Amino acid sequence: MAASKSQRIGIWVIAVVMTIGTIGSFFVVILANDNNRKDQASQQELMQQYQEYQEKVAAQATELSTKYFATFSPFASRVAPFDAASITEVGKEDLVVGDGEEIKEGTAYSAYYIGWNPSGKVFDQSIDGDKLKAPIEGGNLIEGWNEGVVGMKVGGAREISIPAAKAYGEKGSGEDIPANTPIKFVVFIIPKPEAIKMPDFSSAQQ
């Protein structure tokens, strides 16, 4: 029996809807693939930028190490056991008086350092074999350090004795700095190196 006019129209409507749906799905797949290619290209570009950033940071650290290793490394001889009970306030002993900018509260600076505990155990330092690690940024460090560097000048070195209350207090810091342990540092202030901008990864997270 032949289909009625309304049935034929219904069949055509279904066919058109299915065709549109198929075409729509096809374009969605194409668009998704295109977006994936763009995302991959963007991620590869960011990875390349980050690799270049790391290379610049490493090159700068090597350049600074070459410049300052011979000056700073002899200060390792300052490391020795000391009487913990004698460290009741922040002590300062200038080893080299610098001739650059004076360090005040809030001054931005970079530094190399050697830190040790009362037994003479070095718990952290900038010296790594025959080279120096990248210098640290001053400012947001333990209270005794921040207090101890005030008055130094760029190019200067100072031994700083820090009582436990202005170091790591009752919490301590790892096995080498138990609770209530005073510590010492030799700090060498250097001119702040040129800032190397880190790539912006915010776009990759969107």
CA distances from 20 to 12, 14, 23, 135 (A): 12, 10, 5, 63
Query: Chunked in runs of 10, what are the mean pLDDT values of the chain (206 residues)?
Result: 54 53 57 67 80 91 97 98 97 97 92 98 98 93 96 98 98 96 98 86 57
Q: What is the pLDDT of residue 175?
A: 95
Domain-by-domain residue ranges, the chain?
1-193
Gap between the Cα atoms of 182 and 161, Å rounded: 8
- Which pLDDT score is estimated for 36? 74
Read off the amino acid at residue 50: Y
Q: Which fold has domain 1-193?
A: Chitinase A; domain 3 (3.10.50)
How confident is the model at residue 120, as a pLDDT? 98
Instruction: Give the per-residue pLDDT at 46.
Output: 79
- Which tokens is 23 given? 């075409």
Residue 79: C-alpha distances to residues 117, 158, 160, 168 (Å): 9, 13, 12, 19
d(CA 163, CA 92): 12
Structure tokens at 19: 């065709």
Q: What is residue 206's predicted lDDT score, i.e. its pLDDT? A: 52
